[in-house]
Amino acid sequence: MTLTQISNFVRVAELRNMSHAAAVIRVAQPALSRQMRALEDELGVHLLVRHGWGVTPTPAGEAFLVEARKVLRAVEGARDAATTHAADPTGRVALGMPMSLAAPLIPPLTASLRAKYPALRPHFIDGAGLALQARLLAGELDLAILYEDRNQGPLATAPLLSESLVLVGAADASVDRGLASGALVRALPLILPGRPNRHRLLVEQLAGEGQANVVAEVESHGAIMAMVEAGQGYTVTTYSGVAAEAAARRVAVFALERPGAARTLVLAHQLGRQPSAAIRAVEEELLRIVRERAETFQWRPD
């Protein structure tokens, strides 16, 4: 079994098509098919079921795929460790962040990294906090921006920024500013992610002893904003997550005054892992961009 076979199997299993995988890997399809059969012969099990329209992994193939990905990540980690002392950062760095931070951070961070470190390959993932934490602990991410939490597992964290929550409605929306923040989230129809999303929990804390008036649970930040713009309800998020819509006057933004109506985010990596030069470069550029854009997005760098 070779590393090439393992890598090629992962690509075949992900694409579910031998010819597509061969084109991506840039080998002849017959040669790739022979590689996969040789791998199956060596292991003594069928890894793939061949169909007229493609291939699908068998149960044994699915189990092998999980471990194969771990092997490839370990090889990538070994490569990163070897380049830790390189003069110029190089290699792949995977950074995860909440969906609301993707638009404010990913474009400028990509541009800066490409200009300064052309050999560095950033990979950005946005998603829910718990999913990002799990992927970081599994080694699928090198760095992640997470909500501050005392129960984050074996992770090393450093404060990144704090930002206040705001109430967001359609462009023509108005709210009774005489109502306290908790009363607003109990009275207005809200569109929020489902539990156990950390952001959802913050909003429920705002409601105090009552319940937030959640009329729809939606995991996609983009879909939530589309619904809010259409007047289907309100949402509670951070200003950075709606800055573009607010600047274009597509939504109305209202401050939430209750103490504690804020979230603190940290930059995390696996405890005990030696950061490569590439990881350190991404971290430094991220911190610089957060400081530079703090006023625009109402962040408080920590």
Angle between helix 198-206 and 129-137 (nearest 10): 140
pLDDT value of residue 83: 60
Q: Measured between alpha carbons, how far is 77 from 4 in angstroms, rounded to an integer?
A: 17
Burial 163-183 (b: 16+ CB within 10 A, else e): bbbbbbbbeebeeeeeeebbb
pLDDT in tens, 187-222: 899 999 888 777 788 888 888 777 889 999 998 888
Mean pLDDT (the chain, rounded) = 87
Q: What's the Cα-to-Cα distance from 47 to each of 14, 35, 42, 159, 201, rounded to whole Å? A: 13, 12, 11, 45, 42
Average pLDDT, consecutive stretches of 10 residues, N- to C-terminus, the chain (302 residues): 89 88 86 91 92 89 90 76 65 90 93 93 88 84 86 81 90 81 86 84 80 90 92 92 91 77 85 82 94 91 82
DSSP-derived pairing of the beta strands 48-50 and 55-57? antiparallel
Single pTM value for the model: 0.66
pLDDT value of residue 207: 81
pLDDT value of residue 224: 93
DSSP-derived pairing of the beta strands 251-255 and 235-238? unpaired
pLDDT value of residue 85: 57
